[in-house]
Amino acid sequence: MKTHALRTFAAVVQSEDITSIIASLAVLRADERFQTIGWIRAFNRLSRVFATGKPELTIIKSDGNSKLPFYAFSSLPGVTCPGAGECLKFCYSFRAWRYPDAFARQIQNAFLMRFYPDTIKAAFNAIPDGADFRLYVDGDFSSVSDVSFWFSLLLSRPSIKAYGYSKSFAELLSYTGTYPSNYALNVSSGHNHSDDTVNSIKALPITRGEFRAVSVGFKVKSNMHGTKAVNDALRIKSNERIFPCPGKCGSCTGKGHACGMLDSLKGKIIAIAIH
């Protein structure tokens, strides 16, 4: 299957040296399943990235989309997610691999994080002061080094209002530096950690609260989030007080987006229907 071939390549990009990465790309480029214009163009771009270390696609997206009107950074799902568990069965990030440029951007960013982190740093420093920034739409902190890298950048720019969803609890707990007060951590469900580890994560000063993906018993399309039917189903399935996510970031409250409210919504459970 195409997805298996892409996953194999992703694993190489996240773990092997540049020579091996280039060789793995050559295998994909020769695969007859990837001979469409979109894939040929995407692989050509990646070939230049691997050769030069210079980005061919936007590192931090500023244009957003209908669901995410903020600055956002993504990397590869799965292979950068040491805390992933049940979430791998419903992870939406893999669906983006239908689009060659989306896959190529994830590959590019994972590669630059490993071999050319100063390029990522320059892209972050180009974000306007005071901007909302989602750290990891796709992917997660793959190591303590990743945590240190991003927290150092956030500490250097306190006006940036950052937030994210993570399952990399061991990596976050192993970090020994200062936690940035301008980062709101949402404890993402579907992880592989013990209750004790989760409780330790919840005690961190950066933790806003839990963000749960909930199966409501019926198929939920993207335009159904926030409807009474879905919200009622979320509350029934959760069996406790929750804040239903409407699916479109920034539309949930009149004072900003709930997942970034480290103070006023600290400890609150935000839930979204698995879609």
With 0-12 / 13-18 / 19 or more C-beta atoms within 10 angstroms meaning exposed / middle / buried, residue 127 is: buried
What integer is the mean pLDDT of 84-101? 87
Percent of the chain scored above 70 by pLDDT?
97
In the predicted structure, residue 64 carries a pLDDT above the cut 60: no
Q: How far is CA 240 from the centre of its chain?
A: 27
DSSP 266: T
Helix ranges (DSSP H) in 53-138: 100-115, 117-125
What integer is the mean pLDDT of 52-61? 97
Please choose, from the candidates 127, 77, 81, the residue with its C-alpha nearest in 3D space to the C-alpha of residue 102.
77
What are 101-157's pLDDT values in tens digits?
A: 999 999 999 999 999 999 999 999 999 999 999 999 999 999 999 999 999 999 999
In the predicted structure, residue 1 carries a pLDDT above the cut 90: no
With 0-12 / 13-18 / 19 or more C-beta atoms within 10 angstroms meaning exposed / middle / buried, residue 62 is: middle
What are 13-22's pLDDT values in tens digits?
A: 999 999 999 9
Are 195 and 254 contacting, i.e. CB atoms less than 8 angstroms apart? no
Per the listing, tokens 């929750």 go with 242
In the predicted structure, residue 253 carries a pLDDT above the cut 60: yes
Of residues 37 and 231, more confidently modeled: 37
Amino acid in the structure at residue 101: D
Of residues 233 and 63, more confidently modeled: 233
Average pLDDT in the chain: 92
Q: Do the bridges between strand 71-73 and strand 132-135 make them parallel or antiparallel, or are there none, so unpaired?
A: parallel
With 0-12 / 13-18 / 19 or more C-beta atoms within 10 angstroms meaning exposed / middle / buried, residue 237 is: middle
192 pLDDT tier (thresholds 50, 70, 90): confident
Are 109 and 46 contacting, i.e. CB atoms less than 8 angstroms apart? no
Of residues 240 and 31, more confidently modeled: 31
Percent of the chain scored above 90 by pLDDT?
64
What are 195-224's pLDDT values in tens digits?
A: 999 999 999 999 999 988 888 888 888 888
Non-local (6+) Cβ contacts of 207 within 8 A are 185, 187, 201, 266
Of residues 252 and 79, more confidently modeled: 79
Torsion, Cα of 77, 208, 198, 81 (10° steps)? 10
89 pLDDT tier (thresholds 50, 70, 90): confident
What are 6-15's pLDDT values in tens digits?
A: 999 999 999 9
Torsion, Cα of 80, 67, 264, 203 (10° steps)? -10
Torsion, Cα of 186, 190, 192, 194 (10° steps)? 70
Q: Number of H helices and number of E strands within the chain? A: 9, 8
Q: Do the bridges between strand 60-61 and strand 71-73 make them parallel or antiparallel, or are there none, so unpaired?
A: antiparallel
Per the listing, tokens 């390549």 go with 9
Please choose, from the candidates 147, 125, 118, the residue with its C-alpha nearest in 3D space to the C-alpha of residue 55.
118
Of residues 249 and 151, more confidently modeled: 151
Torsion, Cα of 69, 70, 74, 80 (10° steps)? -110
68 pLDDT tier (thresholds 50, 70, 90): low
**Number of Cα atoms under 13 Å in the Cβ half of residue 193:** 24
